[in-house]
Structure 1
Amino acid sequence: MRRIDVFGIGIGIFLAGAIGYGVFKAAGLDSTQAGIWSQVLLVGGLLGWVATYLFRAGTKTMTYHQQRKDYEDAAFQKRLDEMTPEEIEALKAEIEKE
């Protein structure tokens, strides 16, 4: 993620809070209540985002893990392609032995 993306997300969250405040204010709540409810929505959104992050981290479906798995699979396939049939048979025999 680039720095400009982080700034954009921060400004977007700030604007979402302001819009939420305005909607609650227009719905007839006083300033205090509108502020509280807009914060409740923002904190709820933050907790939801953290929950999805923890789920992706726990299941190892994050971009880093996927890229690393793809790299390891490609490196293994390349090594396998470079092996002779005799070496492949020896490897299979070793695996079966274990």
Structure 2
Amino acid sequence: MRRIDVISIGVVVFAIGGAGYLGLKSAGLDNISAGIWSQLLLVGIILAWSFSYVFRVATKNMTYAQQLKDYEEAVLQKRLDELTPAQLAQLQAEIEQERAQSGNNT
């Protein structure tokens, strides 16, 4: 995440808190109650984001992990494209031989 993204998120969260406070105040709550409820709203949003982040880390569904997977697949595809037909046939024969051996072992 870039620095400007973090700043943007901070400004948006701050604006949500301010809008919540003003909305609650205009709905008839006094200053203290509107402040408490707007803070509760912000804490809820931050906790929900934190739990979603922990969930994405646990399931490895993050940008870095996806980029790493895409890179590894691209490198393997490039290596496969560079193989000659004879090398490709030999590789396929080795794979079939390993499959046959693993099928006999189970």
TM-superposed deviation, 1:93: 4.3
* Letter of the 1:63 counterpart: T
CA-based RMSD of the aligned residues comes to: 1.8
Query: Does residue 36 in structure 1 map to residue 45 in structure 2?
Result: no
Query: Does residue 61 in structure 1 map to residue 84 in structure 2?
Result: no
TM-superposed deviation, 1:61: 1.8
**Which ranges in structure 2 are unaligned for 5 or more consecutive residues?**
none
TM-score of the aligned structures, taking structure 1 as reference length = 0.83
TM-score of the aligned structures, taking structure 2 as reference length = 0.78
TM-superposed deviation, 1:31: 1.5
TM-superposed deviation, 1:43: 0.7
Aligned residues: 98
TM-superposed deviation, 1:29: 1.3
**Which ranges in structure 1 are unaligned for 5 or more consecutive residues?**
none
* Letter of the 2:4 counterpart: I
Range 62-71 or range 78-87, more displaced: 78-87
Query: Does residue 51 in structure 1 map to residue 54 in structure 2?
Result: no
Larger gyration radius, structure 1 or structure 2: 2
* Letter of the 1:66 counterpart: Q
TM-superposed deviation, 1:45: 0.6
Instruction: Describe how 1:1-98 pairs up with structure 2 within 5 A.
Output: 1-95=1-95, 96=98, 97=101
Cα distance in 2 for residues equivalent to 1:82 and 1:5: 39
Map Cα deviations across residues 61-89 of structure 1 (whole Å, 9 max, x no partner). 21111111111111101111112333334
TM-superposed deviation, 1:90: 3.5
TM-superposed deviation, 1:7: 1.9
SS state at 2:78 partner: helix
Identity %: 58
